[in-house]
Chain A
Amino acid sequence: MNAIEIRNLTKYYGKSRGIIDVSFDVKQGEIFGFIGPNGAGKSTTIRILLALIYPTSGSATIFGKDSIKYAPEVMKDVGYLPSEVFYYDGMKVIDLLRYSASFYKKDCSKRIKELSEAMDLDLTKKIDDLSFGNKKKVGIVQGLLHEPKLIILDEPTSGLDPLMQQKFFELLEHENKKGATILLSSHVLSEVQRLCNRVAIIKEGKIIKLEAMNALNEENFKRFKIDVAADIPKNYFQFDGVNDLQVKGKTHSFLFKGNINEITQKLAGIKISNLWVDEPDLEEIFMHYYSKEE
């Protein structure tokens, strides 16, 4: 059985586009990435799955049950971490977590302790006094405390420092090994690449690509910036896979998708004085690659 099945889901907010004809499945036990630039429709899709909003047409099921019609029942097995966490005024962390646990008919106190220790979270503090990153940790513990079989995360890592991000990913991988299915939305390609088995890429409300992660990993995107020591022809780096080539004096910069050895071979043939290799952000990748493939 698939953990999530989304069929021809369309949502309009009045006249403005939310998502159009979105369909994909998330298999039980996999970590599924859902990526796209901001405003592409990731949160809309997730909010429909959670029955916070209703689709204009189409349907979604979670563990075989319609996610809108049977929302209260379906939600027993779902844990959700929103992109921004907001909680009630004047509550302590532990009060909030106990309140959250009170909705599930099981004892979660041991789990709360384990998770908050793993995430290094102080339970006695007032939530209002916490930093953004610490609030996010409350959200993580809150979303996982009932051991959900399906974990839905909307932009989970924003606000977490790299060390916490690492811990959080380990936590997710641990949950996944125990059998939890994970749907993770993000606009950062590298975090999806790090965690996911498969991805769906959404742009302007439509799914434009659905594939296994290793296929996407072959499409290695890098932004190169090279200071050359001696002048080279302006089109020296103009070959297949190179995009957005800019030359300013001795600095050549471009986006590259493909086998990285092609670049290193090219580099070996010239003298350089400096070299930067960066992860381009998703907007950049979309602008130079996926817009043409449509």
Chain B
Amino acid sequence: MNVYLRELRAYRKSLIIWCVCIIFFVVSGMGKYTAIYSGMNSPTDFLASMPKSLQALMGGGAFDLSKAVEYFGSIFLYLIFMATIHAVMLGSGIISKEESDKTTEFLMVKPVSRSRIITAKLFAAVTNIIVFNLTTLISSIAIVGKYSKGEAVGGDIARLMVGMLLLQLLFMSIGVAFAAASKNFRATGGVSTGILLITFIMSMVIDMNENLEGLKYITPFKYFDAKTLLVGEGFNPVLVLLTVAMIAGLTVLAYVRYNKRDLGH
């Protein structure tokens, strides 16, 4: 419990900053909705006239951008990007900072096992991620609701946020697993963030080129696509299971490796 509370306190400031950023992003992102919608009769037609690659960068062309919640779906990718960056840095940092700050010699000589320390840190990280997710959920429902002319948006947004939560947990586990497994604490954050960037860019490339659709299993960013969640068939159970299995596998890896390796500083 003491380690959990210590970690919450240590990450409080950064969590507040992230939450302010995410609210700011939702507000400003939806602010453009009025700009686009009021300036043209049919933004969807306008978008449809653009080349496919440009559409992909704008969040995909399958959306009816005159609907507030579908417009929100098109900026959702960037929300996910922020959320996963937060998650991967959090997961990596919460483990490796004991070594980078040289506090292992304080914490690890206490009468607690390494497993219990990881557990406490995981709980603290998940708490941060849930707060991040709920902040996004509540601010999105409030702000999208403001533009949706009475249409209920809660269910749609909640579905998107469940997808985001799974991705957050996945990237947190990637960060945790690399930091716990590797002795080189300076490199682990970079490696995890690198994986995130590569898979993110890959998902963009897949969006631009229909022929690459088969690669969608490789990048987690395609698992919970806003388009499928909002206007398509919803959650794909195989991909949900795959995500949960990866989270579990990475977490087990973190425990096993952290218990076995030398702690340096």
A binding-site residues for B, Cβ under 8 Å:
13, 50-54, 71-76, 78, 80, 82, 84-89, 99-100, 102-104, 142
Contact = CB atoms under 8 A, between A and B. Distances in A.
A117 B88 CA distance: 44
Contacts of B2: 99, 102-103
20 contacts: A50-B108, A51-B108, A52-B108, A52-B109, A53-B262, A53-B263, A54-B262, A73-B111, A75-B111, A76-B111, A80-B105, A80-B109, A84-B102, A85-B106, A86-B102, A86-B105, A88-B101, A89-B101, A100-B106, A100-B110
Given A52-B104, A88-B10, A103 B112 contact: yes
Given A53-B262, A53-B263, A142 B106 contact: yes
Contacts of B10: 88-89
Among B101, B105, B113, B265, max chain A CB count under 10 A is at B105
B111 A103 contact: yes
B183 to A, nearest CB: 10
Interface in B159-197: none
Question: Do most interface residues of chain B lie in helix, strand or loop, or is the interface mixed?
Answer: loop
B263 A52 contact: yes
B193 to A, nearest CB: 22
Given A71-B113, A72-B111, A75-B111, A52 B105 contact: yes
Nearest to A18: B262
Interface of B: 2, 6, 10, 101-106, 108-113, 116, 260, 262-265
A69 to B, nearest CB: 11
CB-based closest 5 A-B pairs: A86-B102, A53-B262, A103-B110, A102-B2, A75-B111
Question: Do most interface residues of chain A lie in helix, strand or loop, or is the interface mixed?
Answer: loop
Contacts of A142: 106
Contacts of B113: 71-72
B257 to A, nearest CB: 13
A86 B103 contact: yes
A102 B3 CA distance: 9
Nearest to A98: B2
Given A53-B262, A99-B6, A102-B2, A72 B103 contact: no
Contacts of A86: 101-103, 105-106, 265
Nearest to A11: B262
Contacts of A72: 111-113, 116
A246 B106 CA distance: 47
Contact of B106 (A13, A73, A87, A104): A87
Contacts of B105: 50, 52, 80, 82, 86
A163 B10 CA distance: 36
Nearest to B102: A86
Among B108, B110, B113, max chain A CB count under 10 A is at B110
Contacts of B110: 75, 100, 103-104
Nearest to A54: B262
Contacts of A82: 105-106
A216 B162 CA distance: 70
Nearest to A142: B106
B159 to A, nearest CB: 39
Contacts of B264: 53
A71 B106 CA distance: 14
Contacts of B108: 50-52
A50 B111 CA distance: 10
A74 B111 CA distance: 7
B6 A78 contact: no
Contacts of A54: 260, 262
